[in-house]
Structure formats: structure tokens, C-alpha cells
Amino acid sequence: MNPQFFDPPSRALRKHLSTLVPTCGEIAPQGEFSQLGTPLSDCCFLVVDLETTGMGAGAEITEIAAARYYQRRLCGTFRSLVQTRRPIPPKIVALTGITNSMVLAADPLEEVFSRFLAFWRADHPDSPPVNALVAHNASFDTGFLRRAAEQLDDPLPDALTVDTLAIARLLLPRPFVANHRLATLASYFGADKPTHRALDDVLATVTVLQGLLDLGAGAGLTHTQDFRVLQKVPRQIRAKRVLGADLPARPGVYIFEDAERKPLYVGSASNLRTRVGSYTTLSEKRRQMREMLAAARHIQHICFPHVLLARLKELELIARLNPPFNRASTRPDKYWLLELTYEDFPRLKLSKRVERKNASRTFGPFTTRKSVERVRRVLSQQWNLRTCTQVISPGDPANSCYLEQLGTCRAPCRVQRQESYRQHCQLIATNRAKAEQEAVTSLLEKVQDLADRQEFEQAAVVREQLSALLRAEAERELLSPLLAAEKLIFALPASSGGWVYLALAYGKIVGTAFTCANAPKIAVEKTVATLAEIFPVTAPRFLAQGILWEQLHILAQQLYQPGTRIVQISDSAELVCPVSGMLARTQLRQKLAQAQKPFSFRR
């Protein structure tokens, strides 16, 4: 098998690779050629993949596969199932397709491992001895191989370990690829999708390896020693590993602090130990994170039974502490709302907060003022609403204003009586879904018409207005049921077993509870009854009062995730979205979003 060719790297990717040249190929001044190691063109790689019964050290190997790869060709493959002492968990069977009956007929680990090492050490007529062991997320595979070697007292041959995951994170950072999973990288380099069977994954890794070698050539990756330089974590960063050494492997929030205990960075994770440890590995490339680690002296943490609670707490702490190295979620006040007023001549008004009684006449939230201005402009045009801010009395005829003269307002107040104008606005509020659908249809037709006339710049303006409208209304449809619910109790499966219960009133969390795994029914019922005693809760005056919009978005999304259970809900609440609403028009929103960034980092 020869790896398929992939498209040449984009200009942005070539620029990124050029910045890595000082990193690779430089070992020491006045070094000898022997220090460079074996040229990659003469290197024989042993690409390995294991399938196991789980992630921990106590898991067993179920399948081993390997391939010798030399000068762009396969020189031999190895594959064998392995007999296990314990049953394979059902979720692993579903993932890999390896069943208990398959491994029952396989050879034990002693025999398979012996044949694997023989394949590794054997002289091959088409390739030299193996120089490097290659795997994707190599620490996982090499960990199992080392434990097997110790258990069987048969040491592994000496070879350089190359991790395609670590190399890919350096050579292909986001947004050049969506993530660094093997399936994503295989697709990028034109390989068949891996199937979680060992040999299929090995063949995919071979293609990824060759693709990375081709990319790395532009960054000075020419010899085996360059892999050591690429995969080496700076000493000052490795020294920070002690900060998170004692963190639990549980969901929670972590806070990096400086020597004076001032917060530097706040984050959340489903596994605190793994996430904090990742900051001190080669995978962390963000310059600001390296600066943060250099200043960090302490780590505080708060554990939670579910990662959702950790994420909500993270947003709260970022808003309250304003840590200097956080970039996301640092402006909780950035959200805008658009309200159809109750004036004699109603108009669409920008607001930071809106009273709950006006929820049916509210649009948004919007994340930027630019987007809310776009929607106000397009809806005012589509629905023939005034855009001026002056107070107009119903008995006085409206005078022509500069907005009408500039053509940015149709001045309906000059051609309509006050009563008919109010009825027009009330009809829009009452039949909101229909009015929005008509506006979307009209805008789509307008975009097409402008494109047909080759007025592409104006078509792009209308497209951006339409995209902003769809995004905002999809968000409103997602959040509105939570904001309207007087009482909502739902349960989430806890990471350690059992259930986490959240009680919400008008979108705000008013209580939480936890029941252990296998808790008796009476204990669960008592927990729910205790939460139910919190209600009724006094309704807030404003929408989303006492909760961040981003927190509300996370809660709303969680309600529709697998595993979430609705326990109690008020009779008047409806957790529904319109079938023909903006939230349902996912494909259109995605197409519009993609059209707005045609020159994004894509192959």
C-alpha cells in the first residue's frame, strides 16, 4: 500500500510551517553529522496499534497490529487477536466489534506478544532494522506494550518513539484541522476512515505519518533526531507538572494562581488531572498559556459530580474574577436584545435587558451590537416599522425627519394613522412565527435576485443580515422555554454513578441535589420532594435576571442531550420548539455561516 497524495498545503499552512524551522533541525552549535540520527528517507518505521478492554492500567489487550513502513511502502504487516482473562465490556464491543467469542478462540498474550516481537526484530529483505516505533497517541499503546513486556519478562527492542498525535498538533494546529483524532487526520490526508480495528487503524496511521513527514520537510524535519526536538517539552514547562500532580480524576473547575494567590486562569474539565496535565505537554502551543504557566505557582480546584456544574461555575468565576489569561467568556455584558416597544408608534429598540412581560416582543440575545443593528435594520424594512427615536404624539402629524430623507426609514408614521400602525405591530407580535418566515423568504429571494444581477456586494450585505436574524431567533427559540418555566427539575447521570438533580425557575438554578448509584427509590423520591419544596419562586422582573446568558445557553442545550431526564415541570411550561422555526433550519444557518468565511483555513 502506498499512501495517497493529498492536496498541497495552503498559503496559511506554509506560513505556519515556516515559523517552525528554528525549532527543527537545530540540535547544538557546531554539532556533528552523527548527531542528526538516521535520515528519514532511510528510516524504517514500525507502526503499531492496540485494541484493549479499557483505558486503565488494569485493562487487557484484545488485538495487536503492526506494519513495517520503509521508503513510502509497506514491507510487511502483523495482526492477531489476544485471549483475555475477563469479559470485554459491552461499550468496547460496540466500539471495536471485537466480541468475547472472537478472543476466546485466540492465542494467549504470551504467544501473541512473542510473535509480535519477532516481527519487530526480524530481518526483512525489503527494509533495514526498525529505527522508530510509531503510534497515534503513543503513550497509550507503548504503556500497554511496556506492561506486557514487564509481565512476560521480554523487553522491547530499543527504538525512538514517534507520536503522530503530538507531531500533528505541532504541524497542523487548529483551525487547519477540526481536531487531531486519527479519523480526522486520515480524512485530511486522504486515507480510509479507521474502524477501531487494529490493522485498519495502523494503515490509517501509516498514511497520516507520511503526510506529516511531507509537511514536516518544510519545517526542517529530515532526520530521526528532529523528532526528539519536536516532541521535547521545555524544562521550565515540565517543572510545572507538580502543580497538578495531586488533582483528582473528577469533573471540576481549576484556577491557576500566581505567587500572591491572584487568579491567572480559570477553566473547567471532565477530568481535572488529565486537563491540567495537558498544559505541561507538547500539545499546548498557545503562547499566552506558556506565559501563564511561567507565572503560575498554585492551583486551586473545586470538584463537581457533573461537568455541566463545573462549566457553569467556570463562567461565574470568570465573570467575577476577570483572570488576565482567559480570553473566552470574559464579557458577560456583551449581549444585546431587540424589543418591539409599546409606544404610540412602536419601533424596534436595542436593550441590555427586557422585562419578562415583553418576552413575546423580544428578539435575541445577540452577541454583538453589529449583529443586532443588522437585524433591526432588516426587520424594520421588512415589517415597515419606523427607525427614528423621537417621541411622536398620536394627535400631532409627524414631520419629515432626516432618516426619511436619507432613505433609511419608510416613515410609516407619516402615512398611517396611529391606531392602524399599532394594529399592524400587534399583528406582527401575535403572528410572530409567520411574520419571521415571510421575512426570511423575502430575504432569500432578495439575495438570489441580487446575485442574478451580479450585485454581489449588496447580496453579501443582505446575506449577513439574514444570517444574523436566523442565529438570534434560533437562540431565542432554544432559551425561551427555560425563561418561561416557573418550575423545572431535571436529572443528569453523575460521572461517578448516581444522579445529579437541578431545579430551575425562570432559567435560574435555585437548587441542586445528588443521589448515589443504586440509591433506593424512597431516597430518590425524598430528594426530588425536597427540591420541589423550593417552589414557587418569585418571578424576576427581567429576562435572564440572576444568570448569565452563556450559562442559560449551556443549560438549554443540556436538556436535549442523551441521558438527561425531566423529573418535574410546571403545567404551564412547554419544552418545545416550532417545527418550522429558525432552530429547525440548521442547514440554512450552516450554509450562511460558511458563506460568510469563504477563505477560512480549509484544504
Which residues touch 406 (CB under 8 Å, ≥6 apart)?
none
- Asked if the model's pLDDT at residue 173 lies above 70, the reply is yes
Low-confidence winner among 422-431, 475-484, 505-514, 592-601 (lowest mean pLDDT): 592-601
> φ, ψ for residue 558 (rounded to 5)?
-65, -30
Least confident of 245-254, 453-462, 581-590: 581-590
Closest C-alpha to 567, from 531, 537, 523: 531
Of the chain, the percentage scoring pLDDT greater than 70 comes to 84
The pLDDT tens digits of the residues spanning 407-446 come to 666 666 665 667 777 788 888 888 888 888 888 889 889 9
What is the residue whose three cell numbers read 435594520?
377
Residue 282 CB partners (closer than 8 Å, separation 6+) = 166, 169, 170, 230, 231, 232, 233
pLDDT, tens digit (0-9, with 9 covering 90-100), for 103-114? 998 999 999 999
Confidence of residue 186 (pLDDT cuts 50, 70, 90): very high
Q: What is the pLDDT of residue 472?
A: 87
Q: Can you tell me the distance from the alpha carbon of 378 to that of 444, in angstroms, rounded to the nearest whole number?
A: 12
Phi, psi (degrees; rounded to nearest 5) at 487? -150, 130
What local confidence, expressed as pLDDT, does residue 30 receive?
A: 42
Residue 180 or 591, more confident: 180
Length of the chain: 603
Identify the residue with better confidence: 25 or 513: 513
CB contact set of 277 (below 8 Å; sequence gap of 6+): 241, 244
Contact 474, 589 (CB under 8 A): yes
Q: What are the angstrom distances between the C-alpha of 526 and each of 52, 388, 530?
A: 41, 57, 6
Per-residue confidence (pLDDT) for residue 26, from 0 to 100: 42
The single residue listed with the C-alpha cell 519478562 is 153
Q: Which neighbouring-strand residues pair with 68?
A: 46
pLDDT at residue 133 above 80?
yes
CATH classification of 11-230 is 3.80.30.20, yes or no? no
Q: C-alpha cell of 541?
A: 422582573
Is the pLDDT score of 533 beyond 90? Answer: yes
Of 286-290, 294-298, 344-348, 422-426, where does the model show the most confidence? Answer: 294-298
Pick from 522, 596, 509, 519: which is nearest to 554 by CA?
A: 509
Distance CA 147, CA 136 (A): 18
What is the tens place of the pLDDT at every residue in 249-275? Answer: 899 999 999 999 999 999 999 999 888
Per-residue pLDDT band for 209 (boundaries 50, 70, 90) equals very high
335-353 residue pLDDT tens:
999 999 888 788 899 999 9
Mean pLDDT of 445-460: 89
499-505 vs 348-351, strand pairing mode:
unpaired
C-alpha cell at 490: 431535571
Cell of 24: 527543527
Instruction: Please give the average per-residue pLDDT across 466-489, as a whole number.
Output: 90
Identify the band that residue 153 occupies on the pLDDT scale cut at 50, 70 and 90: confident
Question: Residue 464 above 50 pLDDT?
Answer: yes
First-residue to last-residue Cα distance in the chain: 24
Judge whether residue 534 has pLDDT over 60: yes
Please tell me the pTM assigned to this model: 0.66
Q: What share of the chain is helix, strand, coil (3-state, %, to 5)?
A: 45, 15, 40
- The domain segmentation of the chain, as residue ranges, is 11-230, 235-330, 334-473, 486-569
Query: Do residues 135 and 141 lie in contact, with contact meaning Cβ atoms separated by under 8 Å?
Result: yes
Higher pLDDT, 388 or 209: 209
Give, to the nearest 10 degrees, the angle between helix 456-484 and helix 549-559.
Answer: 80
| Percent of the chain with pLDDT strictly greater than 90 | 41
Model confidence at 601, pLDDT cuts 50, 70, 90, reads very low
- Cα–Cα distance measured from residue 396 to residue 404, given in angstroms and rounded to the nearest whole number: 18
Domain 235-330 matching CATH 3.40.1440.10: the answer reads yes
